[in-house]
Structure 1
Amino acid sequence: MMRQLNCLIFLSILNFIPSGVQAKTSVALQQQNDFSLKSLLQSLHTSRDPISGETKCCPIGYHFDGKDCVISPDCDSGCYFDSGKCHAREEPRCPGDGIPNGMNCFTTKGPECPTHAELKDKTCVVGQPQCGDGFEYDHSLRSCVSIESPQCGDSYDFSKGRCITKKRPECRGRGATRFENGHCIGTSPPVCDKGSYNDKLSLCQADAPRCPGGSSIQGNVCISKNGPSCARADDEYDPDMKKCTSKSHRL
């Protein structure tokens, strides 16, 4: 019907149908008794040129070659030649209530699962998993979990999957000790073989350093109490120049 309607529109635009026939067309379509027009439409089909892509109405047995309607090659019974191929006159069909879609047939009825099963996420689900007495199924763990919480002894607490004693750790080292920050700390301070223990530096500090006689410690060196002297009697040490200069050359 679509093929006939396309050709009818095409012929009307080109004024191919005589005016008398055109005048009768509306009456023929309403009364469905114009045998000549019906025969004309059934004898035409829309042919497409595969090279140019243009279409034209041609009689059955002819095809459009881009210029004219020419005799088509022979095809099997029930087929017609168009666009370089033999096309079946009947549209694709699917068995039962199937609907053709490309190379596949789809049905309007959705998938089903067997009795006592339910379709969930593309899978047929049969009830909930069952666990033994005192256990229940945990979906997040996918395991059977005990209804009761883990139990530890009276002097223990359950924490992070372990039983932890309520008693504080005891230190049993030599001397009096105490538990502090995960260590056993002695109550007596450290003892040095020589000098004294510096708690801030955590080091053994010896006695203060000493310098030879006539000198004293300044920073990390020993400085003589007497200043520098010159070998010659007429020379004297100049602290600004930091060398011995002659007295006679001074102004």
Structure 2
Amino acid sequence: MSLRSLLEPVYYRILRNSLTHIPNHIAIIQDGNRRYAKELGLKNGYGHRQGANTTETMLDWAREFGIRHITLYAFSTENFKRSEEELAELFALFKDRFLKVLTDERVHKNKIRVRMVGDRSLLPDDLLTCIENAEEATKEYSNHFLNVAVAYGGRNEIVHAARRLVQRVKEGGLRPDEITPAMVEANLYGGLGLPPVDLIIRTGNDFRTSNFLPWLANGNESSVYFCAPYWPQFRKIDLLRAIRVFDQRRSSCSKSSCS
């Protein structure tokens, strides 16, 4: 047994016990699936499947820590530029995981509401049907919320919200001077009413937020945690380290009364 394997449980307990603030809403950019597979000499599909397994495990950790809202950046509007083979693999994987929601005992026992964030018009009908079935099966749940960003782009989302408001103005139901930040927010993300993002996590050693949830994250000045492991390698200790970043910022703000 290595020294690291001996010390890590101790480090985990110390870190867990040091936290006083837990984020209500975390957003995760699950980066590195393809690079993970490439380094192993395997196809992209392997990395995506392993990443999906990490996601399921991570949801258990988050629930254990008391995090109620999680938004996952699963597939951006830019990702449609990938090869037909990879898109087919990804859509098949999404269908499989959304179908799994219907029978997953953890989802129903813990009353996890599953919702999609993104442009539904861009998705194939069979995938959209699976998503809608998962949403329907969990629509009455409110203990935890899992939001999956598929066919999502931050600027695209704001454009759609602007179009909705412009249409109301054209119809005479709204004056331009009546538009408020709260009204814009109500028209974002399909009217899901997502809470502000407290913490953004990005894996894969890439230091960008990729325009993910810009209104809820940047507008809320959320904490950001970048880490080196590819998403399939993400561990419970990595999640704790991310929460520590949020905790330190909240503790600092409490002392200085910052927003």
Ranked by relative contact order (alpha carbons within 8 Å, sequence separation 6 or more), the top structure is: 2
Structure with greater strand share of residues: 1
Q: Looking at CA atoms only, which structure, 1 or 2, has the larger radius of gyration?
A: 1
Task: Specify if TM > 0.5.
Answer: no
The normalised TM-score by structure 1 is: 0.18
